[in-house]
Structure 1
Amino acid sequence: MSAVANPRAERVEAAGQAPASVGESPVWRAAEQALYWVDIPARLIVRLRINSGRRTEWLLPEKVACIAFDRRGTVLAGCETGLFALTLPEAESAAASGGGPVKVVPRKLAAPTFAFDDMRFNDGRCDRQGRFWSGTIVQDMAAAVPGGALYRFDERGVLSAPVVDALITQNGLAWSPDGSTMYLSDSHPLRRLIWAFDYDIETGEPRNRRVFADLHDYAGRPDGAAVDADGCYWICANDAGLLLRFTPEGKLDRQIAVPATKPAMCAFGGRDLDTLFVTSIRPAANASEHDGHLFAVRPGVTGLPEPEFAGIL
């Protein structure tokens, strides 16, 4: 695909014909020229090697919602019962020959005290300094329980107390290029807000929380996000089939249609970080042929390398 004035998001056919139930947490690994993502209820981590089109799947014993990597390639995963470290064995031949996903045994690193039953981690990623951040949610969205909280897991392996609380559906974590601004959203239909914080890069403390964008003024709900090299914030507008780009001042300056109704999270990748990959969710009813699939678009801007976890897992 070439970058054009009105770029189109196209389905990545090499990602496979079976849609994800809840495709989330795309992460580009430059060293492998590969995109990783998860399917939350299927308990899968998926890798697609872009050049060869080879897909590999790993199966976890519980739902996995977000992932990051340390410098050795060990995965840090936010799951149902806590944060885990796991090694993904090379098993492409088994997966390619129809052997199915390879089972992985995670090692538990930390867990918060969940405020309610039926909770799990949701959106998560590392800040520019390599601290891992993720938030929790009550899985029954219809209950609209503000029991979620945002946590920081640092390079020493210490999980913080809740840093931001009273969240319904935590999402949208991202940092400005210099790391001095943190973004966070709540994608529940009752919230639909994106906040910005002043972020102390030395201590990892966010302060001065303010509304960055209120998606009641736009279409959709704010889901997963990415920041480009210009410092603009790209958010998946769930339920609207759109990618929205906000300037650092909170002004909407671009939008791109996605064939899936529920785009879930986006990440820059490709050799030059000029491709925006988008995972999506397949609704339980009235799903289209594209819902739940992976998409790619060349938006005409480049992204930033995804930070690795600063500790050793």
Structure 2
Amino acid sequence: MERVSGVSCTVGESPTWSAAEGAWYWVDIPARRVWRMDGSTGAARYWDNAEMVACVAAKAGGGLIAGMESGIFSLSLGAEQTAAALKLATPAAGLGEGMRFNDGRCDRQGRFWAGTMFMDMSAARAVGQLYRYDAARGISAPFVSELLTQNGTAFSPDGRTMYLSDSHPQRRMVWAFDYDIADGVPSNRRVFADMTKEAGRPDGAAVDADGCYWICANDGGYLLRYTPEGKVDRRVEVPMLKPSMCAFGGKDLDTLLVTSIVSGKPEDAEWGGSVVLLRPGVKGVAETLFGA
């Protein structure tokens, strides 16, 4: 396991690998930053933003698509320290005070999926919703509602299964859906993993080439790999208490980058908020660029 040097995030989230650039991207939500690390040199830099950036995916032609505080944005990352942001869409009903986007990623066809949450988790307001965005149709009506803390969005290698988690302490669930790859519509929601008995809550996730679902166990200090049948077959300990999301990348897609959140606990002082790279012995699936 290797720690990314010189990087510490308050709430590190949404890692993604850009094969075209040979680079990793991730965000630090409260810092309003997008980070980039060159996969060859390890050199890292960041861009500031006017709003909190919660999730990102690489776009065809360069730049990122992002779920932020007030909507879906296109981000251009140039020589300046601040990203150039262009708002693409806002949900028809708006986001409401105290809301923002949270977890998101593209499906295998290049459509962007992102969900919303009420930022004060202690309020336990089930007002989060899951949306789809594509350039041709814009932002959808919500496909899933009454979420406390939307998370864990991922797609099987063939794109025909969509995964979604709710990481709130009162939920701790992962669901699977059948996914219509032609229309981009999920259906047949069912429980995939009940994590109410786990020490960690289900946070961000990734899918490997075997079709297994890797979920970060936030508050537990480990990752779990679930088979497509919903059975745990691996547990990987990490040095930070609150791993937040993982993503496969690197030249051979055999590296897992894991972001984390500062817990404030003394035992987590050294590693909380760090970003680490590990080799789990399996390969991931290349992410589809938005609009590809």
Classify the TM-score, shorter chain. Answer: over 0.9
1:45 to 31, 34, 46: 34
2:88 to 106, 109, 128: 109
Asked if the contact 2:77/2:84 (under 8 Å) is kept, the reply is no
CA distance in 2, matches of 1:154, 1:163: 14
Aligned equivalent of 2:275: 294
Aligned equivalent of 2:57: 68
Aligned equivalent of 1:175: 155
SS in 2 for 1:106: strand
CA distance in 1, matches of 2:238, 2:264: 19
Q: TM-score w.r.t. structure 1 length?
A: 0.90
Q: TM-score w.r.t. structure 2 length?
A: 0.96
Aligned equivalent of 1:309: 290
Aligned equivalent of 1:255: 235
Matched AA of 2:84: V
Aligned equivalent of 2:2: 10
For 1:1-313, list aligned pairs within 5 A: 9-13=1-5, 16=6, 18-90=7-79, 102-112=81-91, 113-114=93-94, 116-286=96-266, 287-310=268-291
- The one-character-per-residue Cα deviations of 1:245-297 (angstroms, maximum 9, x if unpaired) are 00000000001001000000000011100011100001244342111010111
- The one-character-per-residue Cα deviations of 1:120-146 (angstroms, maximum 9, x if unpaired) are 000000000111000000000000000
Asked if the contact 1:264/1:279 (under 8 Å) is kept, the reply is yes
CA distance in 2, matches of 1:166, 1:81: 19
Consecutive unaligned residues in structure 1, runs of 5 or more: 1-8, 92-101
Percent identity of the aligned residues?
A: 58
Highest relative contact order (Cα 8 Å, sep 6+), 1 or 2?
Answer: 1
- The one-character-per-residue Cα deviations of 1:42-79 (angstroms, maximum 9, x if unpaired) are 00000011221211111110100001122101211100
The number of residue pairs the alignment matches comes to: 290
SS in 1 for 2:220: coil
Asked if the contact 2:110/2:291 (under 8 Å) is kept, the reply is yes
CA distance in 1, matches of 2:66, 2:95: 20
CA distance in 1, matches of 2:280, 2:84: 38
CA distance in 2, matches of 1:178, 1:90: 37
Consecutive unaligned residues in structure 2, runs of 5 or more: none
RMSD: 1.3
Asked if the contact 1:136/1:148 (under 8 Å) is kept, the reply is yes
